[in-house]
Structure 1
């Protein structure tokens, strides 16, 4: 790969932008040109073989086929233009340490988002929280927020229990440089003390503490009742018998953090995407803090990767082709999308600032400190209320855009329209791992097997004739004002038998569920006026 190196004021660059080798680029362009030539020949054939008007059926068939081929050609041109010039990013965290002292590094506000304690179990949530708490970063500059859209007291209880475990887990991680730093993921892979552990008893004690934590939390999840309110924890008083997932106290939002920590960098991650790389923050900061190339970077997006995908996955869950090919190509145009998780934002960009060349970030700014906890709590609650947003720009030009299921993508596009660039960073060690509910040549190049490619094609076919078709119909109904958009969570817990079938490569079609989903959808279409 060919890379660029920009040096300003004798300071080495904190990241490099590399292009693929020339031979690989020429080979792809030759391949793309042959496909385009084939498309042009098909268009030429259609234009020179128009059926006579006397044959109505043939003429209609010709019209529909021509329209489909014109659309395919247009789609191919768009794809070709995007894929013409991919770029790959490389960060230099060692240079970051040489250029900036620890006290000069910016604070980072991390938001972990969850929405349903049933589909997203509390143990899953707190494992992700613990993984980001254990980042290789000055702890006084880390601020972790859990945004629970379900307002679950069970999740709050689990978080409180995890805070005690964190006092032992985080020092252990930093002492032995543990990876990954999600306790659930770590102990699932390490069933016995590793060889580099100087004190095996310490490892065993920590493992027992984690098992006890799982037992206590799962017991509360199953019973739905908090056994005893811990002394000194006032938060439990916010719940009563009238509290539901649809009617609960306000959740933590971006603007709330402005009166608590107000860090220049905001990172958000879904509760099922734990941190797999303790150096991800420093890697991301290489892009923001580069004096020559980082002034206009609005956000750094990490790819989505999954840990529970088996070899030759039958459901087409791996997105290696997208991560290794499509996203670097989007990055080449400065237009990498924001996907709602695993993303580091510049606070000013996310809160609506328009980029200008004379803008200079104050990375060491801090929020006004207050000793009055009640005053701070009152300000935070005021900012969190829904009424605060009335007649304001929040949800329109500030923060995450409201009003559509793809609010994250729309938010990213708005940031780019204000003059900010986005960066896609895909390190060798994946930054985040989650749970999962082209061409053969491209798939093989990206590390897929032929069987994985074939399974992906099968799933594309199923999606096109089922979910995509229903989604298109639903979009038309929504545009006509017949229905409203909604958001559905995928379950993060698996049936044991279904998991075994998945590992064996047997498809669990869920016929009963599919039958009732389609029936209910059709009924809703008929029932609504």
Structure 2
């Protein structure tokens, strides 16, 4: 009997995998051809409407209820009823701003309120999938706990990825942030909403403030029980209005209701405002990751993603929603400090730029910035450096990382700050220009689909450059500047017969040497690699000229 059950389970798993692969193939085929197959068109009338659409950015609302949860014939292979499934493409017109992800989420919130009106909403990015079927049950436990659930607005799972390499070359996992910092915020008012893997209470997304009346929600009462029964056709026509471009005009949607508009990190500011209305959030990390997605596979993708995040966080801090102003007496001070930590990601680039460039330039000029290596005053500098790195290494290993992964994390820490000297400096500049009215916020989507050769280099943990970018120019220029300064410093030591130079400049030489070690992949991309992922020649020539020019000015 046990063997029969085992065989039955194997067959079910095989059937599910086969069904998934078939669905994946249909989606990929439709994407490549730019059209839906006739078989699917005949089965689902909603797809027929795409025939009359002029473009993806100019079309009417397309909506169809594919599976009605009340349909007794809609069952899975085990005979269990299937949930309601709705296909929706909200209306888009060139003359109306569609507000990116926030606009899509708000349209979905309105349409779902009419069709199912479920009290809990799960937000998952399109490139993520469920990896743990117990995640739904676990999240509901937080919402339905009789003693502590009354003020829980959302339950946030960590963002996890299925494609990072063993040593996470681009530090995509953000292990310390996901495993340590979010958990730390959990005890200080709750973590922020990261935009995916998050279970929301519908009422809080719709602008409801926390009050004592929220203490005992009646989860057994379903809103659909009291709704007037409508035919599928009438319901579809009604819901199309809710997803139209003009529905939000002169309403509170995007301001007090739904996800907020006008911010590059709309999920962060939405969760923050929910907390300011008296609600708290919960962080939950399971041994088996709840939701898994795709991480960027090139350096530029990762830097662009961090540019958007940094710019968005700074945008919040410089707006009326500054944690110390808008959040005063609404959220705990410790939570205000937690939000501020990420708000200053952008400004942090200036200090990093100083440590990456000024000591090396001063070394060329012969200006000592640190105490002599023989002086007792070098001890505080040495202690601060080694204690900080040792703590960082211990923290990284504690969350399951490797030593090589920690080294990649340190490299990306510098890259994201020297190119946060570009990515974050660009983010800082964009914010200043936006505040002065010279530019508008632009939501840049992180591309996560890679060519086969790019994927192969990613799996081999070979850093991907490949394209010309101002970020790479700055990155390469600073790398070469430190290399030239390091060679110049060693030359001074070799020519010095009394070892005074070594005593005076040892700290700066060591600092330049560490920067050179961190930038080894950059030097490989500039001079030694022959594959398509190497640094473009235009970047190489520009960076050499800029670095030599800086060295010449510093030396003479």
TM-score (norm 1): 0.58
Alpha-carbon distance in structure 1 between the residues aligned to 2:448 and 2:266: 22
Match of 1:476 among 415, 421, 432: 432
Q: Does 2:461 align with 1:505?
A: yes
Q: Note closer, same or farther for the CA distance 1:369–1:483 as it changes in structure 2 (3 Å cut).
A: same
Structure-1 separation of matches of 2:473 and 2:132:
39
| Aligned positions of 1:29-68 closer than 5 A | none
Q: CA deviation at 1:378?
A: 2.3
1:415 maps to which of 274, 278, 291: 274
Q: How many angstroms apart in 2 are the aligned matches of 1:256 and 1:208? A: 32
- Asked if the contact 1:197/1:203 (under 8 Å) is kept, the reply is no
2:47 alignment partner in structure 1: 236
Deviations 1:141-186 (A, max 9, x none): xxxxxxxxxxxxxxxxxxxxxxxxxxxxxxxxxxx9xxxxxxxxxx
**Bigger proportion of residues as helix:** 2
1:444 maps to 2:397: yes
Q: Which has the larger radius of gyration?
A: 2
Report the alpha carbon displacement of residue 238 of structure 1 after superposing the two structures with TM.
2.5
Alignment of structure 1 residues 63-78 onto 2, 5 Å = none
Matched, 1:366 2:223: yes
Matches within 5 A, 1:152-171: none
Find the counterpart in structure 2 of residue 54 from structure 1.
none
Matches within 5 A, 1:169-184: none
In structure 1, the residue matched to 2:145 is 290
Alignment partner of 1:247 out of 37, 58, 61: 58
Could you report, residue by residue, the CA deviation over 1:16-47 in whole angstroms, capped at 9, with x for unpaired residues? xxxxxxxxxxxxxxxxxxxxxxxxxxxxxxxx
For residues 199-254 of structure 1, the C-alpha deviation after alignment (integer angstroms, 9 at most, x for no partner) is 76665565555444444433332222333153352212322454323222342420
Q: TM-score, normalised by structure 2?
A: 0.55
- Alignment partner, residue 337 of structure 1: 192
Corresponding position of 1:381: 240
Name the residue aligned to 2:413.
460
Q: How do 1:513-524 and structure 2 match up within 5 A? A: none
Q: CA deviation at 1:383?
A: 1.5
1:462 CA displacement? 1.3
Partners of 2:190 and 2:283 within 8 A in 1: no
- Matched residues in 1 for 2:451 and 2:260: separation? 35
- CA distance in 2 between counterparts of 1:238 and 1:219 reads 19
Aligned partners of 1:302 and 1:425 also within 8 Å: yes
CA shift in 2, pair 1:259/1:201, >3 Å = closer
Unaligned runs of 5+ in 1: 1-175, 177-194, 520-529
Q: Cα distance, 1:517 vs. partner?
A: 10
**What's the offset of the Cα at 1:412?**
0.4
SS at match of 1:239: helix
- Tell which has more relative contact order, 1 or 2 (C-alpha 8 A, sep 6+): 1
Could you tell me whether the CA contact under 8 Å between 2:156 and 2:199 is conserved in 1?
yes
Deviation digits for residues 270-309 of structure 1 (CA, Å, limit 9, x no counterpart):
0111111001111001111011111011111111011111
CA contact (8 A) 1:370 1:376 kept: no
Determine the structure 2 residue equivalent to 1:268. 123
SS at match of 1:374: helix
Shift of 1:478: 1.2
Following the alignment from structure 1 to structure 2, what is the Cα–Cα distance between the partners of residues 327 and 506?
30
User: 1-side partners of 2:277 and 2:9: how far apart?
Assistant: 53
Q: CA deviation at 1:479?
A: 1.2
Measure the CA separation in 2 of the matches of 1:203 and 1:423.
Answer: 33
Q: State how far apart, in whole Å, the 1-side matches of 2:166 and 2:401 are.
A: 9
1:396 aligned onto 2:229: no
Distance 1:427 1:357 in 2: 31
- For the 8 Å contact 1:477–1:483, the answer to whether it is kept is yes
Choose the corresponding residue for 2:451, options 483, 495, 506. Answer: 495
Change beyond 3 A, Cα 1:468–1:197: farther
* Alignment equivalent of 1:354, drawn from 205, 209, 227: 209
Which ranges of structure 2 fall in alignment gaps of 5 or more residues?
Answer: 62-89, 91-106, 297-390, 475-537, 539-556
SS of residue in 2 equivalent to 1:308: coil
Q: Report the RMSD for the aligned CA atoms in angstroms.
A: 2.7
Aligned residues: 328
